Structure 1
């Protein structure tokens, strides 16, 4: 592995980890907001938050796998992490939009 790819991989990992921490904080904020919501709304969004937290965990797992990947596997893992991350971001955006519409 050359230094350029190692730096790129490390930088990429740090970027995704930082974004995951932001996502976790947002999900915690949603959990706090749910304490003030109706039982029906709480049940609906708690399930969505649980699903998103699972996606955060899956993305973290892909990052760990990516660290162990050789150069030929690196791009495949990167693409997998990107797909998982983009899917989670889209789901979170949908939830935020729905919560905003409901308020």
Structure 2
């Protein structure tokens, strides 16, 4: 079995491999579903349906496991838990107005 990191848990930031993305799989660290919208590379809260894919079937609860055919794991380069550092964001915003 491959130990290549494909993404990170949306809740706790734990590294996830291909074996961690089954339909009924949960994160081993926090027990949250791994194959859900919040863990998908297409997840985009500001977009319609909170997804970058325009023709996706609507999913109401983004934290529950689903059957979306377009699911792709989050990038391993993304922040561990998907949460941006507030200090970095504030600094970037301040730099815009200098």
Task: State TM-score, norm by structure 1.
Answer: 0.24
RCO higher in structure (CA 8 A, sep ≥6) = 2
Structure with more of its chain in strand, by fraction: 2
Structure with more of its chain in helix, by fraction: 1
Bigger radius of gyration, 1 or 2? 1
